[in-house]
Structure 1
Amino acid sequence: MSVLRPSLVRSNPPGRRVAFVAVGAVVAVTLAVGLWAVMFVQAGVLAAPYAPRVDDGFLAEPVTLGDADVAAISNLDPALLAAVREAEAAASVDGVSFEVTSGWRTARYQQWLLEDAVKKYGSTEIALQWVAAPDRSHHVTGRAVDIGPLDAQSWLIAHGAAWGLCQIYANERWHFELATEPGGACPALLENAAG
């Protein structure tokens, strides 16, 4: 039988044990918080809030129909884009210039606009009068364009049917779609985006 002499037995001083326990606790808490954060980020809870980008069709300021490298223009339906460009050429003879304030949009951007409208107006019912849901928006399909300024809107309301372009909603004088044959009559205005 071997007997250990007290001078040969190494013991950890109490302070060192406390330090090991403290380090272990910090590591465990760090791992738990990290795992929790990863789970919530993946679930979208802690992800940065969505901010629309130019690639989503967002326009910080109006663009021209010639800005073909901008997603809001380049993703418009080709027939709509051609009709608006032809109408713009005719309007320029009258001294009127078109600006595009919105065109094609991703469904995600459209949803963001709807959620923002709900916050602004205080209810989904009122928000839907101004912003269509992504599954109903012609901006998402590239078949709608918003035109400014006011003189361009007025000109297009008066003359746009010659190219099949019509104002669609009574409360949105800026929103145009191909809604008739060139030279045809535009359909009656819908009260708002809710129909």
Structure 2
Amino acid sequence: MWRPLVVGLILVGAVVAVVLGYGGVKSSPSTASLPPSPTGRGEHRGALGEADGVVPDGVTVFDDAVPAVAHLDPPLLKALRRAATAAGDDGVRFSVNSGWRSPEYQNELLRKAISKYGSEDEAARWVATAAASPHVSGDAVDIGRSAATAWLSEHGAAYGLCQIYENEPWHYELRAGATDRGCPRRYADPTQDPRTQR
């Protein structure tokens, strides 16, 4: 006699949990325009880690075992290593705060930026979509420590390494013509970059 009642209560509880869970995801305005996760299993497959491009503390441009470094575009990585060697002679160490990122990690960073800045438009000044981010293609690196970014501001063009955005002094990309002509004019922020308009 109690068994049908218990089974019925469990089923009702499961239905309520599913409905509430679905409603919570559907009502989130900050993720409405983000592409679905490539895993097809919700927002992400679990905790993001090094395999997605998360960088542990103390990583340099010479750490081939770290995917965020290993998956950088080879010419960019070669230029970074040449510059880091020269900077090391000046007592400056390049640490990598971010490099290559999986699309999933990039979308997670965008979700967090939308939450932090309150709108997609404001978040776009700091984080591009996975489809437009040069980090996802391995064409960008964020260098840590102010001494390193100061060194790159002065010497980076000689290696083809250019700061791309005024608001991100840590973000560097390879510009082949920079070795002869200097770095191109910087964009105010990623929203001014034609590559992010996709």
Task: Please classify the TM superposition score into its range, dividing by the shorter chain length.
Answer: 0.7 to 0.9
State which drifts further: 36-45 or 138-147: 36-45
Residue 27, structure 1, aligned to residue 7, structure 2 = yes
Q: Is the 8 A contact 1:130 1:193 kept in 2?
A: yes
The offset of 1:40, in angstroms, is 8.8
What are the residue-to-residue correspondences of 1:111-130 with 2, within 5 Å?
111-130=107-126
The offset of 1:63, in angstroms, is 0.8
Give the partner amino acid of 2:10.
T
Q: Is the 8 A contact 1:80 1:178 kept in 2?
A: yes
Residue 194, structure 1, aligned to residue 191, structure 2 = yes
Question: Does the C-alpha gap of structure 1 residues 120 and 60 become closer, same or farther in structure 2, counting only changes over 3 Å?
Answer: farther
Question: Per-residue CA shift, 1:43-90, capped at 9, x if unaligned?
Answer: 995968754211111124241112211111111111111110011011
What are the residue-to-residue correspondences of 1:38-187 with 2, within 5 Å?
51-181=47-177, 183-184=179-180, 185-187=182-184
Structure 2 distance, partners of 1:67, 1:55, is: 14
Question: Per-residue CA shift, 1:92-124, capped at 9, x if unaligned?
Answer: 111111000000001111111111111111121
Question: Per-residue CA shift, 1:138-187, capped at 9, x if unaligned?
Answer: 00000000011101001111111111110000011100001233623211
Q: Is the 8 A contact 2:100 2:141 kept in 1?
A: yes
Q: Is the 8 A contact 1:104 1:140 kept in 2?
A: yes
Question: Does the C-alpha gap of structure 1 residues 48 and 32 become closer, same or farther in structure 2, counting only changes over 3 Å?
Answer: farther
Give the partner amino acid of 2:5.
A
Query: As a proportion of its length, which structure holds more helix?
Result: 2
The offset of 1:30, in angstroms, is 2.9
Q: How many residues align?
A: 175
Structure 2 distance, partners of 1:57, 1:48, is: 17
Return the TM-score normalized by structure 2. 0.78
Question: Does the C-alpha gap of structure 1 residues 93 and 60 become closer, same or farther in structure 2, counting only changes over 3 Å?
Answer: closer
Question: Per-residue CA shift, 1:6-51, capped at 9, x if unaligned?
Answer: xxxxxxxxxxxxxx2x201212443565577689989995968754
The offset of 1:128, in angstroms, is 0.6
5+ residue gaps in structure 2? 26-40, 193-198
Structure 2 distance, partners of 1:37, 1:47, is: 16
5+ residue gaps in structure 1? 1-19
Q: Is the 8 A contact 1:41 1:47 kept in 2?
A: no
Structure 2 distance, partners of 1:73, 1:34, is: 44
